[in-house]
Amino acid sequence: MNMGSGFRANMLRNQFKNIQREIDEIFDSLSQRKGPWGSAPWRESSLLPLINIRETTDSFVFTCEIPGINFDDLSIKIEGDALIIQGERKTDAQTGDSSYLRRERVSGSFLRSLTLPREIDKEDVIASYKNGVLKVTLPKEKKPGARRIKVKYDD
């Protein structure tokens, strides 16, 4: 009977269990790390706005949730084949006699750069901002359609 292979298998199994336990402990410690009012630290650092992109027959429509952003602190531009949305959410002014008990709304700058799916007509881009939602409509580049060529008959 060969006891060497069974012994090695048990050692490997124990090593994998130890690794799994250590990984579980890391995730447990991360999920239990909270600020004084119960919010996890990584939630407080999330500034990137959520973006949806939809395609219509003649355009691409980007909608972006950016509540609390002042219109003057927002910049939208197209550079090469990328749509760049940049902004800053400023901190609420605090008076001297108050302090936060819980703070989930983060402040700071953000920048999103999204590769455009195809050539667009950069001259007719429309952007609007209403109720904390930015909407950017990027018309598709108009391609010349097929045209019939008249053939002249030469004698």
User: For residue 119, what pLDDT is reported?
Assistant: 80
Q: Give tens-digit pLDDT for 87-130.
A: 888 877 666 777 777 777 777 888 888 888 778 888 889 999 98
Mean pLDDT of the chain: 78
Domain co-membership, 84 together with 120: yes
| 70-95: b (≥16 Cβ within 10 Å) or e | eeeebebeeeeeebebebbbeeeeee
Domain of 18, in residue numbers: 9-45
Residue 121 resides in a domain: yes
Residue 27 resides in a domain: yes
Domain co-membership, 61 together with 38: no
Domain co-membership, 20 together with 86: no
The percentage of residues in the chain with a pLDDT greater than 70, rounded to a whole number, is 78
Average pLDDT over residues 29-58: 64
Q: Give tens-digit pLDDT for 45-55.
A: 456 788 999 99
Residue 152 resides in a domain: no
Domain co-membership, 114 together with 62: yes
Name the pTM for this structure.
0.59
